[in-house]
Each structure stands twice: as structure tokens, then as C-alpha cells.
């Protein structure tokens, strides 16, 4: 009994330490977000970034959003980002689903070596190829164009096949064979049998394919130099870094733009969270 009681006390102490650590990490994770929201709605002083904890008039902070839409081409940047993200998302989702289905359900020569090569290539950081991609696009005359961004984001989509393939592996092959015996073609099996069951992984693929170009900064900064072709990530960065003297004046406007962009992503993620989590967990069952 004494040993059992001592063990319970040790477990309670260990749980208390773990929960305290998690709470501390959670606070550190939330603080930058809270500071971003707070700064987006406050009036920026001319003396520096740091202001009093409670602004004198928080409602005046809505002027930051007015300046964002009237003094900057934010709407244009937002449209550019939306065009690139939607186009890249559509192509990336199509490529990933086709490659994943082929590698999961079809058996052909060099299938296993191809999977290994794609997996190894996917482990390399994307920015390692940034300079080479820039010179290729420059030779093709595609720099300073939104089409170049779509090509870059969707060109390597097949390297992210493994999670989607893992989901397709969980779908019983007997269902497909039954449909084929009933006279269905391979395309009909894919569209009418597999895809309805693969809704979670399709949603997961769409969300991840949309978020990547929406938040990207590195490739946009490398490829795009025309201000009218900026995406929101590059546009907001240039807003506070174009002139050092304007950093303080534009910092709250920058936070207002980041608040809007982040809010769109959070809303999208929360609306499909159930399918997103189901797609991840199901795709991790088999490899």
C-alpha cells in the first residue's frame, strides 16, 4: 500500500511538472499572436514600436485597416495571392492524387525504386533549388509573372505523395475489384468508388496545397520584382522595409495586414479541421 501511494504521488508530481511545462510553452506560443492582434488595433507612436500596454483609444486602431486599404495596394496583393494559391492548389491536388493513386493501387516495373527516389528528393530543402529555378524561369522569360509562381509551387507536388498514398492503401482493394467485375472502368472506379471514400485526404491535400503558396515569401522575393505582382507576404514585408524611416509608421499597418491574412487561414483551417485531422491520421496508418 505504501509503495502504491508513493507511486501515485510521483505520478501526480510528474503530471504537474508536465502540465506546467506545457502551459509555459503555450504562453510563449500565444504571446506573439496576441501582440500581433494588439498592435493591429492600436495607434503607433512616432517614438518607437513599444507603446503602453493599454492604448489611450483602442478604437483609433481601426485607422490601421483604413490605411492598409487606401495607402497600399493591399487589395491587388490579395488578389494576386488568391490567384496563385487557387491555381497552385488545383494543380497540386490533381498531381498528388494521381501519383498517390497510381503508386498505391497499380503494380508496374520500377514502382518501388520510383517511390524511393521521390521520397529522397522530397527530403531536400526546397530553397536549395531556388537559384537554379530562378535562372530557368529567367531563360524562359517567366520572371515577374504569377504563372512562374504557379509552376514553382505545383511543379514538385508529386514529392508529397506519401500521406495521400497511405490513405489510399487503407481502402480495401476488394471494393475496386467488385466494381471492375460489375463492368466499371479504372477511371469509374477512381471517381465513383475511391474518391467518395477519400474525402478526408482530399480536403487535407487541398488545405496544405493552399496554405503553402499563401504564406510563402522566399520564392516570391526571388522571382517577383514588380510591385503590382507582389503577393501579400512580400508586399507587407516591403511595406516596412522599403525605407527605414517609415518602419515605425507602417508597423501597425503591417500587423493589420498580417491579422487579416492570418484570419483567413485560421477560418479556412477551422472550417475543415475534422476532415484535416482524419486525413492525416488515416494517411499515417500504412506506408
User: Where residue 246 falls among pLDDT bands split at 50, 70, 90?
Assistant: low
**CATH number for the domain running over 74-283:** 1.10.3720.10
SS3 annotation, 57-102: CHHHHHHHHHHHHHCCCHHHHHHHHHHHHHHHHHHHHHHHHHHHHH
Is residue 200 within 8 A of residue 279, CB to CB? The reply is yes
Question: Residues of CATH 1.10.3720.10 domain(s) within the chain?
Answer: 74-283
Look at the block and give the residue holding cell 491574412.
Answer: 261
pLDDT for res 176: 78
Whether 140 has a pLDDT exceeding 70, the answer reads yes
pLDDT for res 49: 43
Compute the distance between CA of residue 153 and CA of residue 176 in angstroms, rounded to an integer.
Answer: 32
* CA end-to-end distance (rounded Å), the chain: 46
pLDDT for res 271: 77
Is residue 265 within 8 A of residue 215, CB to CB? The reply is yes
Global confidence as pTM: 0.78
Half-sphere exposure at residue 77, Cβ-oriented, CA atoms within 13 angstroms: 29
User: Where residue 48 falls among pLDDT bands split at 50, 70, 90?
Assistant: very low
Q: What is the CA angle 166-169-170, rounded to 5?
A: 100
Average pLDDT, the chain: 79
Label residue 141 left, alpha or beta by phi (over 0 means left) and psi (-120 to 50 means alpha). Answer: left
pLDDT for res 286: 46
pLDDT for res 60: 56
For the chain, percent of residues with pLDDT exceeding 70: 85
pLDDT for res 81: 92
Lowest-pLDDT choice from 50-64, 81-95, 115-129, 265-279: 50-64
Look at the block and give the residue holding cell 498505391.
Answer: 104
Amino acid at each position: 500500500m505504501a509503495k502504491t501511494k508513493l507511486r501515485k504521488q510521483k505520478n501526480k508530481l510528474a503530471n504537474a511538472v508536465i502540465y506546467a511545462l506545457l502551459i509555459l510553452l503555450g504562453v510563449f506560443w500565444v504571446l506573439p499572436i496576441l501582440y500581433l492582434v494588439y498592435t493591429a488595433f492600436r495607434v503607433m507612436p512616432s517614438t518607437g514600436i513599444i507603446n503602453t500596454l493599454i492604448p489611450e483609444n483602442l478604437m483609433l486602431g481601426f485607422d490601421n485597416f483604413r490605411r492598409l486599404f487606401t495607402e497600399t495596394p493591399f487589395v491587388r496583393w490579395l488578389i494576386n495571392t488568391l490567384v496563385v494559391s487557387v491555381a497552385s492548389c488545383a494543380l497540386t491536388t490533381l498531381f498528388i492524387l494521381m501519383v498517390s493513386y497510381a503508386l498505391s493501387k497499380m503494380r508496374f516495373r520500377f514502382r518501388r525504386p520510383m517511390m524511393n527516389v521521390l521520397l529522397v528528393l522530397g527530403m531536400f530543402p526546397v530553397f536549395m533549388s531556388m537559384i537554379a529555378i530562378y535562372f530557368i524561369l529567367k531563360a524562359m522569360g517567366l520572371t515577374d509573372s504569377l504563372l512562374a509562381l504557379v509552376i514553382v509551387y505545383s511543379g514538385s507536388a508529386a514529392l508529397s505523395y506519401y500521406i495521400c498514398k497511405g490513405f489510399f492503401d487503407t481502402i480495401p482493394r476488394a471494393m475496386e475489384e467488385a466494381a471492375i467485375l460489375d463492368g466499371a472502368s479504372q477511371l469509374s472506379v477512381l471517381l465513383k468508388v475511391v474518391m467518395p471514400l477519400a474525402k478526408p485526404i482530399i480536403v487535407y491535400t487541398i488545405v496544405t496545397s493552399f496554405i503553402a503558396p499563401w504564406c510563402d515569401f522566399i520564392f516570391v522575393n526571388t522571382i517577383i520584382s514588380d510591385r503590382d505582382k507582389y503577393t501579400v507576404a512580400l508586399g507587407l514585408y516591403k511595406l516596412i522595409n522599403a525605407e527605414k524611416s517609415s518602419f515605425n509608421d507602417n508597423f501597425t499597418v503591417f500587423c493589420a495586414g498580417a491579422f487579416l491574412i492570418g484570419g483567413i487561414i485560421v477560418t479556412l483551417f477551422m472550417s475543415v479541421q475534422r476532415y484535416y485531422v482524419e486525413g492525416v491520421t488515416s494517411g499515417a496508418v500504412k506506408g
